[in-house]
Structure 1
Amino acid sequence: MAVTKKYKNPPLTEAVFEIFFTCKDWSPIVPGIFYNEIKSDFPNISQASGGAFGISFDASGFQIGPGSNDLTQYKSPDNSTIIQLSNGLFTVNKLPRYEGWENYRKVILSAVTSLEKSVKIERINRIGLKTINKIDLNKHTYENFRKSYNVFPSIPQGVLSNDLSSIQLNIETPAVPETEILALSLVTLKKEPKYEAPSMLQLYYTRIKDNEGLEIKEWLEVAHSALHKAFDTIITEQKKKEFDV
């Protein structure tokens, strides 16, 4: 397992592990069967009207939008960890406080084991790991954006002012040709409590084919390493110093 940099105050607002799957024996009682497997750690159960808004990837390519409907949610006592399950979708979401990759990985693998006990998965169509980071630029200017990120739009001098209304960048690149993809979404956001000039960086690593016999434990390490490397490369050294204050 690779050793990765740990920050005192990481900007991570959510981490999401997801599996899109096909099964033949799904029925309305499956969420209840699954609940019996995890209820000691996830006692709070409810129905969700829809999935989260964020990065996704399907046959048409890179997408940003709402997720799946008809989800059953299972929450930890402090609501910081949420498992979601529907016919074809399984996610493990970690909200602050994020206690490190080792703990999150254990929760994912335990939840996957419980899922496999509850329903027979015929095929994994796609598997993904996502991180969502919120980073304050202090003021929405092109100069501040470049001081924070090594990925930025190239704007010819004199075309636009230094002040920003908004920036939105969507990029995807093959991590493994025709099999795995690394995607990023980088956007500026409106002022909100605790953030003067927020920006959001979403990083998504996904495997879209050849998932038969996939060892999820090993794949998780590959995905996590790729996301960590991407984060470390995209954020400037100057900005990363703020995460250790």
Structure 2
Amino acid sequence: MERHNFKNKPLREAIFELRWNVLDEQDHSFSLLLGRLFDKLQSEYPYYEKLANASIPLELAQHMIQHRLRKSEKEWPLVQIGPGIITLNFTNSYDWKTFSRSIMDLVNVIFAVKPDIKVNNLFLRYINSIEFNYSEKDIFKFLKDKMKINAELGSSLFAGENVSNTPKSLQLRYSFEVLKPKGFIVLSIVKGASDGKEALIWEHSMYSNYKEPFTAQNNIFEWTCEAHGVIEKWFFEIIKGELERRFL
């Protein structure tokens, strides 16, 4: 998402997520890893939060976020950690150059403290939103005209006055296989809220799909950069035209 420096950018959060299997590990193993990660990350993310679910046993908590490290209280970027999972989250400070460099730094730290790690899954997610008044505007017309997404239901379903054609909820999800980098791209569209106002929220995400785990930093960096390229293309194709001009 680097083709423009948007003045009114729709991005709400960018997330990198890395997962590995911990079911064959002992509780003390994760505790040791946690301590080592804290030592390596505290200079960059000094503010620590222990989440309410941190006491859940390891065998029940795989891929559950339990700890959070921030730049400062209630500020982003942040790192989230749990058994078999670590994420890097950016919001307003996002740009791809800074985000990708922070991903590289985080991955290098992970391999430094756990050289034998076998990474099973990678995720790259971009959550966007724009204010949208559903009672005054036709969301299906907006999706078709502004985002090239035709999801409208047949008008005969709303014939008469018995059923309103204004959706009380909206959840669309599309998933497609990607050959390079190997994985899936997912486009999700939901009715939601942002900054206390009704909003259209859409997410572009990619997740890896390899039979063999990632065992080297370079392979992770390569997948992440290529995944970003795929997502970037989708993002700009979808907003091309009036919507893109609105963000400038």
TM range (shorter): 0.7 to 0.9
Aligned to 2:106: 111
1:98 Cα deviation after fit: 2.9
Mapped partners of 1:50, 1:230: distance in 2: 36
Q: Which residue of 73, 87, 90 maps to 1:91?
A: 87
**Structure 2 stretches of 5 or more lacking a match?**
55-61, 159-163
Query: In 2 relative to 1, CA 211–152 (structure 1 residues): closer, same or farther, beyond 3 Å?
Result: farther
In the alignment of these two chains, the number of paired residues is: 225
Aligned to 1:156: 154
Aligned to 1:63: none
Correspondence 1:10-159 to 2 at 5 A: 10-22=9-21, 24=25, 26-49=29-52, 68-77=63-72, 79-95=75-91, 97-140=92-135, 141=138, 142-159=140-157
1:5 Cα deviation after fit: 3.5
- Of 146-155 and 99-108, deviating more is 146-155
Percent identity of the aligned residues? 19
Task: Give the counterpart letter for 2:16 in structure 1.
Answer: F
Query: In 2 relative to 1, CA 19–70 (structure 1 residues): closer, same or farther, beyond 3 Å?
Result: closer
**Structure 1 stretches of 5 or more lacking a match?**
52-66
Structure 1 or 2, whichever has the larger Rg, is 2
Task: Give the counterpart letter for 1:201 in structure 2.
Answer: W
Query: In 2 relative to 1, CA 91–144 (structure 1 residues): closer, same or farther, beyond 3 Å?
Result: same
Give SS of 2:204's match.
strand
1:42-71 deviations in whole A, cap 9, x for unaligned? 0011222469xxxxxxxxxxxxxxx94352
Query: In 2 relative to 1, CA 208–171 (structure 1 residues): closer, same or farther, beyond 3 Å?
Result: same
**Are 2:68 and 2:79, in contact at CA under 8 Å, matched by a contact in 1?**
yes
Mapped partners of 1:212, 1:93: distance in 2: 21
1:3 Cα deviation after fit: 6.2
TM-score by length of 2: 0.80
1:80-135 deviations in whole A, cap 9, x for unaligned? 1111122211111112x133100011111101111111223431111110011112
Give SS of 1:163's match.
coil
Structure number with higher helix proportion: 2
Task: Give the counterpart letter for 1:205 in structure 2.
Answer: M
